[in-house]
Amino acid sequence: MSSITPLLLIISLSLLSFAPPSTANPLTVYEALQSYDFPVGLIPKGVTSYELDPSTGKFTVKLNGTCSFDIDGYALKYKSTISGTISKDKIKDLKGIQVKVLLFWVNIVEVTRDKDELDFSVGIASASFPLDSFYESPQCGCGFDCVNSAGKSSRGFSFFDRVVPLLQYN
């Protein structure tokens, strides 16, 4: 019996070496955003799951449904699936997020962090907003102003006011 004990020990140790790594504390999607130097407020509350390939930066975020809300005179729509490619200070090939400019819904295709500002690109134009406006996640239906639910917030920026002049001069 004593000769079997070392054999069992060797087999046990070899099986342990093939065990997958522990996933006891995986990052939330909000922590993953922060690890790429972005604030949590880019993604609304209600995420059900996400996938991220750290080697390529390709990601997919699943919400519990479509999500819409107004902030300071502009409307945002999130589809139930958001995807793109993330790297430090840049999200590109973004799909699943739209903003209403004038009468049209346009896709936000890229988000770039430049020091204390976030630049949002819709392809033909972009607008910059203070980083501290995104320190909390908006909630579907009411955005950042769920207490008052009046549809207006005192966040201090307006996508509409910043993009319209760009469209007029481009």
What per-residue confidence (pLDDT) applies to 148?
65
The candidate with the shortest Cα–Cα distance to 76, out of 140, 23, 147, is 140
Least trusted range by pLDDT, from 21-30, 47-56, 76-85, 114-123 = 21-30
In whole numbers, what is the pLDDT of the chain averaged over residues?
79
Residues in the chain: 170
What per-residue confidence (pLDDT) applies to 18?
37
What per-residue confidence (pLDDT) applies to 145?
81
The candidate with the shortest Cα–Cα distance to 59, out of 42, 84, 27, 24, is 84
Is the predicted pLDDT of residue 23 greater than 50, yes or no?
no
Is the predicted pLDDT of residue 111 greater than 60, yes or no?
yes
CB-based contact 52:36 (threshold 8 Å): no
CB-based contact 156:133 (threshold 8 Å): yes
Distance CA 160, CA 92 (A): 22
Q: What is the pLDDT of residues 33-92, one digit of tens each?
A: 999 999 999 999 999 999 999 999 999 999 999 999 987 667 999 999 999 999 999 999
